[in-house]
Amino acid sequence: MKVTAVVLAAGQGTRMKSDLPKVLHPLCGKPMIWHVLEALKKVSTEKPVVVVGHGAEQVKDYVADSAVCVEQEPQLGTAHAALQAEAIVKGKTDYVIITYADMPLLPADVFQRLIETQRVNPGPLTLVTVIAEDPRGFGRIVRNARGTVEAIVEEYVAAPEQLAIKELNVGAYCFKSDWLWDALHRIEKNPQKGEYYLTDIVELAVKENLPVQAVVHEDLIETIGINTRIHLAEAEAAMRERINRQHMLNGVTMMDPVSTYIEASVMIGKDTVILPNTYIQGKTVIGEHCSIGPNSHIRDSQIGNGCKVFMSVMEGAVLEDEVDMGPFARLRSGAHLGKHVHMGNFGEVKDSYLAEGVKMGHFSYIGNATIGANTNIGAGTITCNYDGEKKNPTEIGEDVFIGSDTMLVAPLKIGDGAKTGAGAVVTKNVAPETLVVGMPARAIKKVERKVKKH
């Protein structure tokens, strides 16, 4: 059985009042069309078709190879949009799912139920409906005495008794492919709107005495169609709750899920605790037995097992196992902290590697540096890495002691076991096991290297 999804994404979305195409507005870190395609990918067998229109090039650029894009020009309604997929899909699949790119909360299991219901339906189509007190402008489902769907009546033309109907059309359909395309060609233009509406296809099936079935979905929130920023915020809240719930079911503790923001692409290991007011975004992977937050912001970062990130910021950084950092620490792009590194308050690291056991207590900046194992970085240490034209590297060996308020003027190499006095300004390389002091720093004696065993 071959199943192909057709996603309608050509609408202008004028009520969003935005230069960005509506279907590219982000929802928990991913454009809403991404969520739709991810759900469909789990139930369809063929590459989906996305019908684009307004903002076509931007949508095509985003979709790329994940779907086949076809343009609707001019935009003459939803039935006309679906027809644009005919040349690509006709004769190549058994069933066609048609849905909208602005309905990102419909989960894969609803589409699966839709397909399974249509497989046993002798008629040509099955659609998804929902029972709701607030119609939100959806079309009403009119059923006949046999219980099958007789019509979808749009709200603007519905009679008072039809407006009282609580069963609503969601906007997700499954068709027998060999019936669909001829039926789409037979839909007539709506005289009031001047467009061709997909909902009119139900009438064609009924006239042929073919049953139209419906899958009733019980979760109203998951049927949200996004037309305004208000709808987007509602969907965001629902998606956040879904994501957080799944993490908790997988063994993650959240002290306050409502104040915890985790994007769709994030992965978190079991027995990790996420504390309130924490934002975890992008391609972030967090290991097991970690404590993250409160008030932490992590984006596109990798965190090993047993780490503690307390009131801190990470952007494109890596923590190996058993690292603790914060409060008010910041790791910028390219920061890599090895196992058992400690980074205290008001420290910042960028494009640097701190090897196992490094201690960087507080009020320090490390940039474009490599620091050997078990080195101590005193408070107020600065790697002066920028000379006004380029960034220069600093190399610090193992078991080094950098005194408080040391200025390390790159390019610079400091050998294993060396020490700097408090307030030293180091402008020249330092030999291993040497103490330097002063401004500019000068060597005064050899020192005994103390090797730490972790």
Is it the case that residue 449 has pLDDT exceeding 90? no
- Residues 129 and 394: their CA atoms lie apart, in Å, by 64
Q: How far is residue 379's CA from residue 423's CA, in Å, rounded to a whole number? A: 10
What is the C-alpha separation between 275 and 429, in angstroms, rounded?
44
pLDDT of 13-23, one tens digit each? Answer: 899 999 999 99
Instruction: Say what the pLDDT of residue 450 is.
Output: 74
Cα dihedral 438, 443, 449, 452 sign: positive
Task: Give the span between the Cα atoms of 122 and 146, in whole angstroms.
Answer: 14
Quick one: pLDDT at residue 320? 98
pLDDT tens column, 128-168: 999 988 887 889 999 998 889 999 998 888 899 999 999 99
pLDDT tens for 345-392 read: 999 999 999 999 999 989 999 999 999 999 999 999 999 999 889 999
Beta strands in 245-358, from DSSP E residues, in sequence order: 253-254, 261-262, 267-268, 273-274, 279-281, 285-286, 291-292, 297-299, 302-303, 308-309, 313-315, 318-319, 324-325, 330-331, 336-337, 342-343, 348-350, 353-354
The whole-number pLDDT of residue 235 equals: 96
What is the spatial distance between Cα 3 and Cα 93, in angstroms, rounded to a whole number? Answer: 6
- pLDDT band at residue 440 under the 50/70/90 scheme: confident
- Region 297-308: mean pLDDT is 98
> What's the mean pLDDT in 393-409?
97
The answer to whether residue 452 scores a pLDDT higher than 80 is: no
Tokens representing residue 283 in the block: 């391609």
Q: Do 176 and 170 meet the contact criterion of CB atoms below 8 Å apart?
A: no
pLDDT-derived band at 442 (thresholds 50, 70, 90) equals: confident
- What is the structure's pLDDT at 453? 65
**Domains in the chain, CATH or no CATH each:** 3-223 (3.90.550.10), 252-446 (2.160.10.10)
Active site residue 80: no
Average pLDDT of span 191-207: 92
Q: Residues, the chain, total? A: 454
pLDDT of residue 158: 87
In the three-class reduction of DSSP (H, G, I as helix; E, B as strand; rest coil), residue 428 is classed as coil
Q: pLDDT band for position 454 (50/70/90)?
A: low
* Average pLDDT value for the chain: 95
Phi, psi angle pair for 334, to nearest 5°: 85, 0
Tell me the mean pLDDT in the region 66-76: 94
Q: Choosing from 35, 247, 342, 362, which is the catalytic residue?
A: 362
The predicted pLDDT at position 70 comes to 97
